[in-house]
Structure 1
Amino acid sequence: MSAAAIDSPGRAHGEWLYWALLIAPCIVLGLFYVVPVANVLVMSVTVPKTGLANYAELASNGAVQRVLITTLRIGAITTVVTLLLGYAVAYALVQCGPRERQILLAVVLASFWISALIRAFAWVAILQSSGLVNATLMGLGLIDAPLQLVRNETGVMIGMIHYMLPYAILPLYANMAGIDRSLMPAARALGATRFQAFRWVFLPMSLPGLIGAGVIVLIFSLGFYITPAILGGGKTIMVAEYVSVQISETLRWGLAAMLASTLLASVLLLVFWLSRFMDVEAALKK
């Protein structure tokens, strides 16, 4: 019997196993992701009647426009502030000693273990009129009356920034940790100041991590629900909360599906636009 004949059963079994491992995840992905998303897209153009009437609300419905503008504004501000703070923390992680790095990383990772609901209620207690922040400022004589830090955009952004910081810090730290530390001293040896060495050497090399973290933070920020619902107090409504209201209270399923589809399309367009200027997949891995 030839060696090829003996090897053929094993090869056939290996090919069968390969296709099984390939097809099974595709089926799961299709059932639990593609089908629900497709159903939402279909509902957006068929409920309550077939057509683009739901999408016409984007141009004619003032409430929908305000919600979208509020979502974009809060998402953009949250992303910028989160990246600034995250960059500073990540840079500190790279520059500090091993012991301090372990402590800081433990603090950052501990944030992942705290529920978003618990964080939101904790910020309500801290930021309310009789909370820690106002009590401290009034005790120091810096303000005469409590500041309105909750049930508005300020409270929502504070809560969102706190929640999103680990998602910015970790990609940035992973990127910065891979930068050759000898480059900054080399730039300074050539006559650059500390700031010039940072601006011309370190910052450009950390740009992929910065963009990757920005994509993650912005995508999460556009779809926030729990934090705006609690810290906004019904006065600052973002798309996710508005969709929930349309489904559970007004029963306008078509409008809710349209907003969900619009949000999904916006995220995909954002990623596609960024992919024209850089390798988004590589940036997200760093």
Structure 2
Amino acid sequence: MTRQARFLILLGPLLLLLVAAYLVPFLGIMRWSVTLPEPGLGQYRTALTDPLVLGVIWRTLRICALVTVCAVLGAYAITLVWVRGSPGWRLFAELAILIPFWISVLTRAFGWLALLSNRGLINTWLQSLGILSEPLALVRNEFGVVVGMVHFLIPFAAFPLASAIRSVDERVLLAARGMGASRARVFWQVFVPMTAPGILGAALVVFVFSLGFFVTPALLGGGRSVLVAELIYTRVLQSPDWGLAAAISMIMMIAVGGLLVVILKQARRGTGI
């Protein structure tokens, strides 16, 4: 048996799993989008002209972009401590990154409800100190959704950033310092550009993950900041309108795929890969 044949035999189960888990459902959704409730492209026309659907798609992209920026910035700061800090701070940062993986998304969402609700810890504390007379609206709006999603996604952004930060050549930084550049200038003009691949990778991971969020926006948004995943859920299980849900899914997949292709092309052009 040749080496290539052994490789295909070992890889076969994984390929079958991927086909069963991803390709078959994808083809099913594609078929529903053009066959339910009747054959044609009517559901795509509805999805692209319905103000409600367009509003939800725009809100989803806007919130996901904001979450991506905030999560990558937060992850960059904590990853710097994790990779380049003192041993004590490294341990603290590592625990801060790894412990959230042991806590379910539902538990985290309820935790933020306990903190941010009108009778939550933050509003109660601020009112007891006399800083506020009325509670702040921190949940059941976009602010609560963004906070919950950023908290969940920061650990996922930390790993590609850690890889990029560890690969930075210290000699380049020392050379920049030797040429008279300040620490701030070395950081912004040398260090950050050298970690650009990690920033891009973290941003792509966070953005793609955030598009499929359901539990966190549903709980912290309170039905007032509906995202695409929640809209698809209601169209499948509550309306029901499976054809429109499938069409919305396909539109989002095509839009995100095209966006990722453009971003990757621009990144390769900028890095010369």
Superposition TM-score tier, normalisation by shorter sequence: over 0.9
- Per the alignment, residue 166 of structure 1 pairs with 155
Structure 2: 5+ residue stretches without partners: none
The amino acid of 1:116's aligned partner reads V
Alignment partner, residue 173 of structure 2? 184
Pairwise CA distance, 1:267 = 2.4
User: Aligned residue for 1:120?
Assistant: 109
Quote the residue 2:127 is aligned against: 138
Does 1:197 pair with 2:178?
A: no
1:8 is matched with none
User: Is the CA contact (8 Å cut-off) linking 2:81 and 2:89 kept in structure 1?
Assistant: no
Provide, for residues 39-71 of structure 1, a one-character-per-residue CA deviation record: whole Å limited to 9, x for no partner.
Answer: 101111111111111111233211101111110
Deviation at residue 191 of structure 1 after TM alignment: 1.0
Q: Does 1:249 align with 2:227?
A: no
Asked if 1:93 corresponds to 2:82, the answer is yes
Does the 8 Å contact 2:81/2:93 carry over to 1?
no
| Per-residue Cα deviation, 1:171-219 (whole angstroms, up to 9, x for no partner) | 1122101112343232122111111111211010011100100000011
Equivalent-residue separation in structure 2 for 1:253 and 1:168 (angstroms): 33
Output one character per residue of 1:81-124: Cα deviation in whole Å (capped at 9) or x when no partner: 11111111112223311232122112211111110000001111
After superposing the two structures, state which structure 1 stretch, 115-124 or 269-278, moved more: 269-278
- 1:20: Cα distance to partner? 2.1
The match for 1:222 is: 211
Work out the number of aligned pairs and report it.
270
Q: Distance in 2 between matches of 1:134 and 1:15?
A: 63
Cα deviation digits, residues 131-175 of structure 1 (max 9, x gap) = 111122223433221001111111111100100110112211221
What is the CA–CA distance in structure 2 between the aligned matches of 1:204 and 1:32, rounded to whole Å? 38
Residue 249 of structure 2 corresponds to: 260
Q: Distance in 1 between matches of 2:73 and 2:7?
A: 45
Q: CA–CA distance in 2 between the matches of 1:106 and 1:174? A: 17
Matching of residue 55 in structure 1 with residue 47 in structure 2: no
1:274 to 1:99, Cα distance in 2 relative to 1, 3 A: same
For 1:18 and 1:191, locate their aligned partners in 2 and report how far apart those are by CA, in whole Å.
Answer: 54
8 Å CA contact retained: 2:140, 2:220: yes
* Residue of structure 1 aligned with 2:220, choices 231, 249, 255: 231
* Contiguous gaps of at least 5 residues in structure 1: 1-10
Shift of 1:278: 3.0
Q: Secondary structure at the match of 2:266?
A: coil
How far is 1:32 from its partner?
2.1
SS in 1 for 2:170: coil
Give the structure-2-normalised TM-score.
Answer: 0.93
RMSD across aligned C-alpha pairs, in angstroms?
1.9
Match of 1:73 among 62, 76, 84: 62
State the one-letter code of the partner of 1:191. Answer: G
Question: Matches of 1:18 and 1:167 in 2, distance apart?
Answer: 31
Aligned counterparts of 1:244 and 1:18: Cα–Cα separation in 2: 40
Higher deviation after alignment, 228-237 or 175-184: 175-184
User: Does 2:223 align with 1:209?
Assistant: no
**C-alpha distance in 2 between matches for 1:101 and 1:28:** 38
1:104 to 93, 105, 109: 93
How many angstroms apart in 1 are the aligned matches of 2:84 and 2:8? Answer: 47
Could you give the per-residue CA deviations for residues 1-26 of structure 1, whole angstroms, max 9, x where no partner exists?
A: xxxxxxxxxx46x6653332243332
Between structure 1 and structure 2, the one with the greater Rg is 1
Give 3-state SS (helix, strand or coil) of 1:28's partner.
Answer: helix
Asked if 1:150 is matched to 2:139, the reply is yes
Task: Go from structure 1 to structure 2 and tell me whether the alpha carbon gap of 1:150 and 1:187 turns closer, same or farther (over 3 Å shift).
Answer: same
